[in-house]
Structure 1
Amino acid sequence: MQHEWMFQTLRELQDYAVNHEFLRLKEHLDQAVDLAMLEVTNMADNRPDPGHQVPP
């Protein structure tokens, strides 16, 4: 996955937040993961079909 580095970084930040009892930060990072997944999914859904040509 092209964006795996971003998800790995977010997971590491989530772990850090939990280990240091930054619970509100963990909640926000959970939301960031959800939003990132949505964005990446939307990017993939909006890619043009390679066989489809856009008229000039």
Structure 2
Amino acid sequence: MQQNYRPPITKHGNKTFTRIIETAKKLFAEQGYLTTSINTIIEKSNIATGTFLYLFR
């Protein structure tokens, strides 16, 4: 199976990656998978859009 993300290489990057995943899991549980947007995940994770796109291309 192809990997659709770029693993972080720094400790800070790993924390950011984990924060995004945990935020997404929480939003999926609250709002459902189909109604949760990438923009909502980005906003609630408090990251830049470019960071998300860099990690999940």
TM-score, reference length from structure 2: 0.45
Structure index of larger Rg: 1
More helix by share: 1
